[in-house]
Structure 1
Amino acid sequence: MAKTKDLDMMESGAKVKIGATDMVVRGVGYFVTTFYALACIFPFLIILASSFTSESYIRVHGVQLIPHEFTLKAYEMVTKSGLIWKSYGLTIAMTFVGTFVGLSIISMTGYALQRKDFPFRNAISFYIYFTSLFSAGLAPYYLLMTQTYHLKDSYFAVLLPLMMSPWLIILMKNFVKQIPHEITESGKIDGAGDMTIFIRLVLPMLKPALATIGLFLALGYWNEWYQSSLFLSSKVDVKPLQYMLYEIVNKTQALKNSVAGQYVSLTDIPTETVKMANAMLATGPIVLLYPFVQKYFIGGITVGAVKG
């Protein structure tokens, strides 16, 4: 009777009284969440402030939360050649194309693998899972990409490996399992084909999954530098953003080591502030993107958490 009364109060819009224990639990939860959020945002604010602080001040006083001796020297050094903007354009294009194509392939693969009328779904699922457990190693992988596929100094060497992963396919398959089988059956009864059922009935119900996996793909392409270091040599003029910034940091450090004490002072070469400026240039756009997909991302990662 008490439970029925509480449900009637909730349905009627009446305020539900919260007990002392619930208030304590909520208070502790809010405190822990706020503390963790501040712990995450403080390093970002320190990096932002340090990128606008002079190199000499950082060497003497260390990094600070507020900029001191404001300067744009680090950003001027990073953007001086103009290649950084071409790298931005290349990375944005690769992120967009790779995420779109990757989502298309992964969503279709996940949909096919959960179809009970697909005879080879178990064998293919095992094959995909098996590849996530074992790897041939770096040397065979490099020979495969350069000697067999001839992708040396090609952007496809960076684009293709990140487009699909066994974990994302398995994740999408589990998302698709949440869709009732009766929906696809109703489409068949109405005479719709498999592609029509997938596009018009299944995809609209996969928005949380698409946002979640799309964010993983976009982060992978945006932060990519390892594939570029393996397959893109100096013959390629424009490199992805992260690898370009990595090269700028290395060249700045090499310049500092070669001329220190000879022609210029150490404080004239902004090695530390260049690192901070690179971090801001690399993380800024993707941080601004996250609020737009946060709602779907949170809904996506909680799919399957509640049974029923």
Structure 2
Amino acid sequence: MAESRGDRMVAVTIYVLLSFIALLVIYPLFFVMIASISSPEMVMRGEVWLWPKELSFVGYERLFANSELMRGYLNTLLYTVVGTAINLVMTIAAAYPLSRQDFRGRNFFTFMIVFTMFFSGGMIPTYLLIRDLGMLNTFWVMVIPSALSVWNILIMRTFFQNSIPKEVQEAAFIDGASNTKLILRIVLPLSIPVLAVMVLFYAVGHWNSYFSALLYLSDRDRYPLQLFMREILIQGQMQEMVEISDDSLARSLMDAEAIKYAAVIVTNLPMLLLYPFLQKYFIKGVMVGAVKG
């Protein structure tokens, strides 16, 4: 079917707009990447726009030489891996029973879970509870309080209801499968798309989390990378407000600027590498609940 001139103009307009939006999204990351390998002095002068100038890896050298930053990086990796594993187990354990029509009281439990999306105890009662549980300044304070997301439970429950045929589950029960074998052998293998979405959502949440550490951690050996990043940004802002009259202070400011850009790249790299492996499942998973023809 031949396209009319108006259709072609609309298509061209759409491509131009999408290209402009893609440029707005990609350029900041591209700028951070080229700034991280450019001379800090050139970056601070505003001379770095499209290409790196006077290649310099001082930011990465100082970053990897800092034992605290490396320890924070390892802490963040550990929090993300363990926290995401706990999130998946708890979300599946909550979503699967709520998706079963033969589960008595599922509407009541769903209401009680959804209720927490709108009303919570607040920051101070939560802090007091965690203190009374003896979790302050421990590893578990970074993974247990965020073990469940109500929104993700609802997404997974909807997937189980709409994408896992009831007849398949009934056939498994007739063949003598238990509930545990049913979920491990049938439900989870058929739920890879939504599991990929959950892994991505939870992993990104743990990777970017810093506020919980700010509230509950006092030992710097347990700090995640994001808290050290916050310190670098705050120190850089404070130094910018001070009149620079000493060469050592000026060099320190430029090194801090280089470390800031290098840390942003190193911090975002794991999530950027994770997404391509989950992309084909992610596209299917985000369509959970969509209208089907």
Please indicate, yes or no, whether the TM-score normalized by the shorter chain is above 0.5: yes
Q: Distance in 2 between matches of 1:112 and 1:24?
A: 51
Shift of residue 18, structure 1, vs aligned partner: 5.2
1:161 aligned residue: 145
Question: Identity, % of aligned pairs?
Answer: 34
How far apart are the structure 2 equivalents of 1:224 and 1:145?
17
- The aligned amino acid for 2:292 is K
Distance in 1 of aligned mates of 2:227 and 2:2 = 53
Name 1:177's counterpart in structure 2: 161
Q: Which residue number in structure 2 is paired with residue 291 of structure 1? A: 276
Q: What TM-score, normalized by structure 1, do the two folds share? A: 0.86
Quote the RMSD (CA, aligned, Å). 2.3
- What SS does the aligned partner of 2:288 have? coil
Moved more, 218-227 or 262-271: 262-271
| Partner of residue 216, structure 2 | 231
Q: How does 1:105-144 map to 2 (within 5 A)?
A: 105-144=90-129
- Residues in 2 aligned to 1:25 and 1:176: alpha-carbon distance in whole angstroms: 39
Partner of 1:8: none
How far residue 76 of structure 1 moved from its aligned partner, in angstroms, is 2.6
1:85 Cα shift?
2.4
CA distance in 1, matches of 2:15, 2:94: 40
Higher alpha-carbon deviation: 245-254 or 157-166: 245-254
Match of 2:30 among 38, 45, 55: 45
Q: 1:154 to 1:18 in 2, by over 3 A?
A: farther
Q: Which moved more, 1:77-86 or 1:250-259?
A: 250-259
Deviations 1:30-73 (A, max 9, x none): 44333322221111110111122223222322542211222222
2:72–2:221 Cα contact (<8 Å) kept? no
3-state SS in 2 of match to 1:197: helix
**Partners in 2 of 1:22 and 1:258 — Cα distance?**
57
Partner SS, residue 305 of structure 1: coil
| Superposed displacement of residue 252, structure 1 | 5.1
Q: How many residues align?
A: 290
AA of the residue aligned to 1:302: M
Q: How far apart, in 2, do the equivalents of 1:55 and 1:227 lie?
A: 32
Amino acid at match of 1:284: L
For the residue of structure 2 that corresponds to 1:237, the secondary structure is helix
Aligned-partner Cα distance in 2 for 1:110–1:162: 16
Whole-angstrom distance in 2 between the partners of 1:87 and 1:250? 17
TM-score of the superposition, structure 2-length normalised? 0.90
From 76, 89, 96, the counterpart of 1:91: 76
Q: Distance between the aligned counterparts of 1:296 and 1:30, measured in 2?
A: 26
Unaligned runs of 5+ residues in structure 1 are 1-16
Q: Contact (CA 8 Å) 1:54, 1:69: kept in 2 or not?
A: yes
4+ long deviations beyond 6 Å: 255-259
Q: Look up the match of 2:226.
A: 242
Which has the greater radius of gyration? Answer: 1
Displacement, 1:255? 6.5
Tell me the secondary structure at the aligned position of residue 264 of structure 1. helix
Q: Which structure carries more relative contact order (alpha carbon 8 Å, separation 6+)?
A: 2
Give the gaps of 5 or more residues in structure 2.
none
Deviation at 1:193, TM superposition (A): 0.5
Structure 2 residue identity aligned to 1:159:
V
Residue 218 (1) aligns with residue 164 (2) = no
1:202 partnered with 2:187:
yes
